[in-house]
Amino acid sequence: MAKDASSGTTSLVSRPVVVEGEISGEENLHVDGRVKGIIRLAGDLFVGTSGVVEAEIDARSIVIQGAVTGKVLARRQLEVHPSGRFNGEATAASYEIRQGAVFEGVSRMLGSKSQTEKSAVPAAPELKK
Query: Binding residues for other proteins, per CB under 8 A?
Result: 1-2, 4, 6-30, 32-33, 37, 43-46, 48-49, 60-63, 76-77, 79, 94, 96, 124-125, 127-129
The nearest distance, CB 1 to other proteins, in angstroms, is 6
Toward other proteins, which CB reaches closer, 32 or 88?
32
The nearest distance, CB 116 to other proteins, in angstroms, is 24
Whether the Cβ atoms of residue 62 and residue 77 lie closer than 8 Å to each other: yes
Three-state helix/strand/coil letters over 58-106: EEEEEEECCEEEEEEEEEEEEEECCCCEEEEEEEECCEEECCCCEEEEE
Pairing of strands 52-64, 45-47: parallel
Toward other proteins, which CB reaches closer, 62 or 91?
62
